[in-house]
Structure 1
């Protein structure tokens, strides 16, 4: 069998070469022409950036689930709206407390304000029923009144205590993760990324180890792209976290934005200071450990030690006196 036998009927080798050349030319023209159809590639890139920012903004501002279901929120919202608490100074203070506690949901603010109204009534009513209605706790009338008023005050301050404890725990978590975030930020900036991209990259790396700090950095990166004043976005980060290390970071970034100082060098110095501060805090806790263990040793260890050492002598003395 020859090569001519493999060709279609009526085709010659020259016809086959011509057809292959035509097909190759067609695909070459298509490969060159298709990229040229995109007359404005910058518009496509800008659209991709806008979409990315919109996704980050939606994701960063999503309410974080903290057990706040939709059931019961409607009634709480109606009560708060009827009392006109959403437009007052209490609303702003409650919103700030919820932000520092790590909950950016509007329902969380409404529920916080509602609980400040409901908890004194609930605890006061339950205490009054137990003391005056059931008679299970016989007390003088003045003591009953004092206990009822005390429970009303406890109910009023209970949401405040909860929000403060949640904010303190979150501050401790953020404080532990800040030195690592600073090191990653230095590496990202020295690699050539701008501030927005560096924050997003650091947030991506910290997503598993510290999701709280990752959320804050992502939200800051989004606000840097949306707000007119970049200083305002940095200021919002400082307000939400309420950490001295974040305040120093915001000051460094604001100085770099305003005066054009080398950002990588400033961040490296700041990261070294944070590492040193964390080491000093660990040494301070280690130095306090002996004094902290003194009370448990005296209360729990010394009585057992005295019983082991002096107990046999006391028992022998009792037996000797009994024989006399």
Structure 2
């Protein structure tokens, strides 16, 4: 006597497929719960970086304990070795170093010595990865059926991607950080207006805004807190605002910095200028949201055709197909 089997669809056991999908769904739920419970406080690391920056501006040193000093000395020695190596090969330019350092600042990385690591990565990654792929393709002949054009395309693509990998990584960090700062900029300007009308000084207003918006927008709170520290310790207040525009790759922040510099220089009312900027940024954010909403139907067309409609057809027509298949099988079975 043949063992009983469940309903089938196109020769596939429906119960077996449902069991596998249930297991995948349970694993996804468990991973989501783990990700939700393991969220770390983003402010701890940023507050630590701000305290270190305050110590640098006060005393001109980069560490307060011997352990931190040892780490920083080791990092500087590594950066010095990389700089000497790049200089010996005539591959180090001052403009290139400045651009890399500015990208690191815009990505939220305060260690300027890592610029030499980025430049060294552009040189070392193509040699290492490109050499390994060339050895894999040509030396070990891992793709014997491929033609010369495909092999060359693989090696050339690896070389190009490995050369661009540090810049792509930094650009991704800058984009994410700029997007996070852009979201909180109108609220920060509104709080600046309130602080200015309440009679607070500019550095106190920046410090208050950083304290209030630090948890909601940690990237923006970090930049405002660092600007408040520099306003309190730097002799040239304009330099503090210019440093803010260099650290954030946003035209909106540059507009705010220009407004702050003009108010410091000419004594124009700060609250009215910031109120106009805040209204402009809110309108811009609303227009950007409307643009995304208008693009949504076109973007959802492909997922609708590829994923939603097939599942809907299976759910609607699956039971009928199973019943018809069972009827044909039972009708052909001899009594």
Task: Please confirm whether the aligned pair reaches a TM-score higher than 0.5, indicating the same fold.
Answer: yes
Q: Which fold has the larger relative contact order, with Cα–Cα distance below 8 Å and residues 6 or more apart in sequence?
A: 2
Gaps of 5+ in 1: 1-52
Counterpart CA distance in 2 for 1:77 and 1:144 is: 38
Cα deviation per residue 1:283-318 (whole Å; 9 max; x = unaligned)? 3322322222122112222334455667759x979x
Indicate yes or no: 2:185 matched with 1:178: yes
Q: CA deviation at 1:230?
A: 3.0
1:49 corresponding residue in structure 2: none
1:83 corresponding residue in structure 2: 86
Indicate yes or no: 2:241 matched with 1:234: yes
Instruction: State the aligned residue count.
Output: 266
Q: CA deviation at 1:141?
A: 4.1
Among candidates 128, 131, 143, match of residue 125 of structure 1: 131
Q: CA deviation at 1:232?
A: 3.2
Q: Given that residues 118 and 166 in structure 2 are in contact (C-alpha distance below 8 angstroms), is that contact kept between their aligned partners in structure 1? A: yes
CA-based RMSD of the aligned residues comes to 3.4
- In the superposition, the TM-score normalised over structure 2's length comes to 0.68
Q: 1:90 to 1:226 in 2, by over 3 A?
A: same
Give 3-state SS (helix, strand or coil) of 1:199's partner. Answer: helix
5 Å-filtered alignment, 1:27-38, equals: none
Q: Given that residues 105 and 247 in structure 2 are in contact (C-alpha distance below 8 angstroms), is that contact kept between their aligned partners in structure 1? A: yes
Cα deviation per residue 1:50-69 (whole Å; 9 max; x = unaligned)? xxx9548369x979xxxx99
Cα deviation per residue 1:245-265 (whole Å; 9 max; x = unaligned)? 212211221221222111112
Q: Given that residues 73 and 111 in structure 1 are in contact (C-alpha distance below 8 angstroms), is that contact kept between their aligned partners in structure 2? A: no
Larger radius of gyration: 1
Q: 1:162 to 1:132 in 2, by over 3 A?
A: same
Q: 1:54 to 1:158 in 2, by over 3 A?
A: closer
Q: Point out the more displaced range, 86-95 or 303-312.
A: 303-312
Among candidates 295, 302, 316, match of residue 295 of structure 1: 302
2:67 corresponding residue in structure 1: none
Q: Point out the more displaced range, 242-251 or 133-142.
A: 133-142
Counterpart CA distance in 2 for 1:123 and 1:237 is: 37
5 Å-filtered alignment, 1:234-273, equals: 234-273=241-280
Give 3-state SS (helix, strand or coil) of 2:204's partner. Answer: helix
Q: CA deviation at 1:224?
A: 3.2
Indicate yes or no: 2:283 matched with 1:276: yes
Q: Given that residues 56 and 219 in structure 1 are in contact (C-alpha distance below 8 angstroms), is that contact kept between their aligned partners in structure 2? A: no
Cα deviation per residue 1:10-42 (whole Å; 9 max; x = unaligned)? xxxxxxxxxxxxxxxxxxxxxxxxxxxxxxxxx
Q: CA deviation at 1:219?
A: 2.6
